[in-house]
Amino acid sequence: MQTTRALGSRYVLERQLGSGAMGQVWAALDQRTGETVAAKLLRPEFARDPEILTRFVQERSILLDLVHPHVVRVRDLVVEGEDLAIVMDLVEGADLRARLRAAGTLPPAEAARITADVLEALAAAHAGGVLHRDVKPDNVLLTDEDPPGVRLGDFSIARLAQETTVRMTGVLGTPDYMAPEIFTAETVSAASDVYATGIVLYELLAGRPPFAGGGTGYAVANRHVTAEPPPVPGIPAALAAVLQALLAKEPDRRPRAEAAAASLRDLLPALDGLPALPVAPEPTSWKAAGTGPAPAFGVLGHRPVDELDPGRTNVKAASPGPAAELSAPTTGEAAPWVAPSTDDELASARTQLRPRQAPAHAAPEVEVEPVASPGRLRDRRTWLVVGGSLAAVAAVVGVVALAGSGDPDDRSGTRGGGGGPASADALTVSGPTERLPSGLTVVREGAYDAEAGVLTTTVTWSSETSLPGPLFEAVPAAEDGTACPDVTWDVAAVRDVTPGLPVTACGWEVPVDVPAGAEVTASYTVPFELEEDGDMQALRERLVGAGTSTGAALDGLTGTPVYAAQRLEDLEVQIDGTVRVSAPVGMVVVPVWRGTDAADNISVLFSSRNPQPTLLLQQLGGDLEVRTDDCTGSLAFTDRVPYANTVGSGCTVSVRLGEIEARSRSFDVLQNSAG
């Protein structure tokens, strides 16, 4: 039985409307005005937290000044004893999440109208220096009017929740709606709210967020950064163009909230009358993002919490530059979204970028291409026919590389545009072959041009299975001791500043994929001088140093599947509790990363409870072999999932991926308790 009680000296809590992780929501009487208001009574531990309490009081005036027709107005903040409450307008109606549950998807016109209202609310907040940080259907309220009014709420709740959550986990917000830059520990900005609103629009149209699916929150985070949102079949091209702009990976490619809202409103006449689409099925795979140098997916929580500053509301300080403007799209085919020119700071972080050339397959005659052009794919299976064996082909290539090309222009490609043609006394040296546990093979070749004073390093990656990129390469520090030399790549490589990587690593994210049975190359050029002419050993040491630098940098990453093919060290097969007859075996395969000695239980490689290929497994080639050992026929397999058919003892399950084999603990199969 509910009873009323006082909240401060002004309000009386009359009836509880709901509860959640942050506390309780009550209908309250404002004794001064006689109005019924909503009071969010936060859990007592928030009132006992001095940091949250200080933030709460400091932001009181900011929140009270945030008044807009599409914002749930904050009327008062109450701090008394262990009561910490936010008093706001009482919105009669339901939230957008409930509307979605009931309808599945919304008609495009209704989805666009609601999204435009949310964007206008955000525009007003951003103009006042306030970020929301947790835009999602649960925080969008719909009035009981016809048509329903839209109110965006929980500005203060979102920040206070994150103040606590970040200190515990380093994670900001709800993963399904978080922008890529949040996962890479970059500064959160107004563009992050715009991205989250784009996710909401996608969900209203498709019935599901674009990156939700199997796996943990880390898997969802990885999709935000590395994958394209699956297209929504059936939506008009102009609406798809706005959606694409809202979901751009780079913050500076997204429109401002007010511009996006105007574009959606311009589309309403053309969208009117279009029916709602069916709920989109859950994707089984995601297409890798192929536009723009998106940051590498870093480690959630690796950045110090005080640097994340989850309570910061100053948009001007959080936003490094102007956001992209979105012109109103016209009906019919929408023009492609074009980002504005990058500013000086952004340009300096992307040293001499050039468009990546589409890889071309090499001709079968080895002699035609004695030295591969940068980015060229070479199908080793074709070469086996020509050379008789891979070893023979490798020997031929090595001899040709050491001898040099008769035509100096043949080597211009390996300069990455930075050194011009090689001089007559250029030196070319091949480094050691590195075979990683994932099955990825790495070879580095250095070409030194004494006349130009540059060294071009060509990195060749190969694998028997397809391994999606990007890949990581660290450039050894310059001779003068600076952290990172001037580097020119022949592909659109991007400086990787992922938290966990040493600042001095001079690490680069290289946008290449390794096709099955083939090899792919990328080259970079740096200033370099040999102390002694013709010192081949010094060149070899330089190539070895590149491999050492790359490995040392990757050792600093843990708990994240970024650069999985280069970091996988081992696998661990975990078996759940008791195994009984006539049931699947609860099995999870998790990775052990280099630089660690424990399995990463957050990044699941494979689970028998959800046998759909995880994104991490796809990044590692997808060819996970599963078999049973020492179990006298008790287990059978369907799509890599072990099933217990008969009683057995001393059972184990083994898996193989690349060069790695791992075995589970020994377990017994017991009779079903019902039998």
Say how many C-beta atoms besides its own lie within 10 A of residue 618's C-beta: 17
Q: Are residues 524 and 627 in the same domain?
A: no
Q: In the chain, how many H helices and how many E strands?
A: 19, 29
Q: Are residues 207 and 248 in the same domain?
A: yes
Say how many C-beta atoms besides its own lie within 10 A of residue 145's C-beta: 9
Which range has highest mean pLDDT (147-151, 529-533, 536-540)? 147-151
Domain annotation covers residue 110? yes
**Whether pLDDT at 540 is above 80:** yes
Token pair of 604, please? Answer: 């699941």
> Amino acid letter at 136?
K
Q: Are residues 375 and 510 in the same domain?
A: yes
pLDDT band at residue 338 using 50, 70 and 90 as cut-offs? very low
Identify the domain boundary among 89, 105, 131.
89
What number is the average pLDDT over the span 17-30? Answer: 83
- Say what percent of the chain tops pLDDT 90: 30
Range of weakest confidence among 179-188, 320-329, 343-352: 343-352
Range of weakest confidence among 121-130, 183-192, 509-518: 183-192
Q: CA angle, 37 as apex, 35 and 38 as ends, to 5°?
A: 170
At residue 292, the pLDDT reads 40
What pTM does this model have? Answer: 0.49
At residue 532, the pLDDT reads 75
Q: Are residues 531 and 608 in the same domain?
A: no
Long-range residue pairs from 379-386, CB within 8 A, at least 24 positions apart, any chain: 379/517, 379/518, 380/462, 380/517, 380/518, 380/519, 381/517, 381/518
CATH number, domain containing residue 36: 3.30.200.20
pLDDT band at residue 503 using 50, 70 and 90 as cut-offs? low
Residue 404 to residue 205: CA distance in whole angstroms: 58
Identify the domain boundary among 67, 89, 111.
89
Q: Residues 549, 505: contact at Cβ < 8 Å?
A: yes
**Whether pLDDT at 221 is above 60:** yes
**Whether pLDDT at 126 is above 60:** yes
User: H/E element holding 575?
Assistant: strand 568-575
* Segment 434-483, tens digit of pLDDT: 999 999 999 999 888 888 888 999 999 999 888 888 899 988 876 555 66
Range of weakest confidence among 9-13, 157-161, 371-375, 532-536: 371-375
Helix axes 108-127, 257-271, angle to 10 degrees: 160
Strands of the sheet containing 93-95, edge to edge, are 93-95, 140-143, 150-152
At residue 392, the pLDDT reads 29
At residue 497, the pLDDT reads 63
Domain annotation covers residue 355? no
Closest C-alpha among 651, 630, 618, 664 to residue 283: 618
* Segment 608-650, tens digit of pLDDT: 888 877 878 888 888 888 988 767 778 888 878 888 888 888 8
Q: Are residues 545 and 578 in the same domain?
A: no
CATH number, domain containing residue 193: 1.10.510.10
Domain annotation covers residue 234? yes
Range of weakest confidence among 188-192, 476-480, 658-662: 476-480
Domain annotation covers residue 360? no
Token pair of 268, please? Answer: 């309403």
Give how many domains the chain has, as a whole number. 4
| Residues involved in catalysis | 134
**Whether pLDDT at 331 is above 60:** no
Beta bridge partners of 13: 5, 28
Long-range residue pairs from 334-342, CB within 8 A, at least 24 positions apart, any chain: 334/237, 334/238, 334/240, 334/241, 335/241, 336/241, 337/241, 337/244, 337/245, 337/248, 337/253, 339/248, 339/250, 339/252, 339/253, 339/292, 340/252, 342/252
Beta-carbon contacts of 174 under 8 Å, excluding residues fewer than 6 positions away, are 134, 136
At residue 664, the pLDDT reads 92
Mean pLDDT of the chain: 74
> N- to C-terminal Cα distance for the chain?
46
Q: Are residues 101 and 228 in the same domain?
A: yes
Q: Residues 582, 611: contact at Cβ < 8 Å?
A: no
What number is the average pLDDT over the span 312-325? Answer: 38
Name the H helices within 230-331: 237-246, 257-271, 305-308, 315-318
Which range has highest mean pLDDT (111-115, 216-220, 455-459)? 111-115
pLDDT band at residue 556 using 50, 70 and 90 as cut-offs? confident
**Whether pLDDT at 297 is above 60:** no
Q: Are residues 665 and 625 in the same domain?
A: yes
Q: What are phi and psi of 165, to 5 degrees?
A: -60, -40
Q: Are residues 290 and 387 in the same domain?
A: no
- Which residue in the block uniquely carries the two structure tokens 């008789």? 388
Token pair of 182, please? Answer: 């949040």
289 three-state secondary structure: coil
Q: Are residues 79 and 225 in the same domain?
A: no
Domain annotation covers residue 402? yes
Domain that holds residue 569: 564-670
Domain annotation covers residue 529? yes
At residue 541, the pLDDT reads 85
**Whether pLDDT at 99 is above 70:** yes
Q: Are residues 268 and 379 in the same domain?
A: no
What number is the average pLDDT over the span 397-426? Answer: 36
Q: Are residues 397 and 525 in the same domain?
A: yes
Name the H helices within 59-154: 60-64, 96-103, 108-127
Range of weakest confidence among 185-194, 266-275, 357-366, 510-519: 357-366
At residue 368, the pLDDT reads 28
Stronger pLDDT, 27 or 329, i.e. the higher one: 27
Helix axes 237-246, 190-206, angle to 10 degrees: 140
* Segment 411-422, tens digit of pLDDT: 333 333 333 333
β-pairing, 488-489 with 648-657? unpaired
Beta-carbon contacts of 490 under 8 Å, excluding residues fewer than 6 positions away, are 354, 374, 375, 413, 414, 415, 416, 417, 522, 523, 524
Residue 150 backbone zone (phi > 0: left; psi -120 to 50: alpha; other: beta) = beta
CATH number, domain containing residue 587: 2.60.40
- CA dihedral of 184, 188, 194, 197, whole degrees rounded to 10: 70
CA 485, distance to chain mean position in Å, is 28
What number is the average pLDDT over the span 568-593? Answer: 89
Domain annotation covers residue 330? yes
At residue 354, the pLDDT reads 26
**Whether pLDDT at 383 is above 60:** no
Residue 204 to residue 272: CA distance in whole angstroms: 15
At residue 51, the pLDDT reads 67
Token pair of 591, please? Answer: 């990775």
Range of weakest confidence among 26-30, 81-85, 91-95, 292-296: 292-296
Q: What are phi and psi of 124, to 5 degrees?
A: -65, -40
Q: Are residues 63 and 148 in the same domain?
A: no
* Segment 233-276, tens digit of pLDDT: 999 999 999 999 999 998 999 999 999 999 999 999 999 999 99
Long-range residue pairs from 57-66, CB within 8 A, at least 24 positions apart, any chain: 59/156, 59/159, 59/311, 59/313, 62/128, 62/129, 62/130, 62/313, 63/130, 63/155, 63/156, 65/128, 66/124, 66/125, 66/128, 66/130, 66/155
DSSP string, 585-625: --EEEEEEETT-SS--SSS-SEETTB-SPPHHHHHTTS--E
Identify the domain boundary among 510, 527, 554.
554
Q: What are phi and psi of 360, to 5 degrees?
A: -115, 145
Stronger pLDDT, 129 or 316, i.e. the higher one: 129
Q: Residues 463, 659: contact at Cβ < 8 Å?
A: no
Say how many C-beta atoms besides its own lie within 10 A of residue 93's C-beta: 15
Domain annotation covers residue 354? no
At residue 525, the pLDDT reads 92
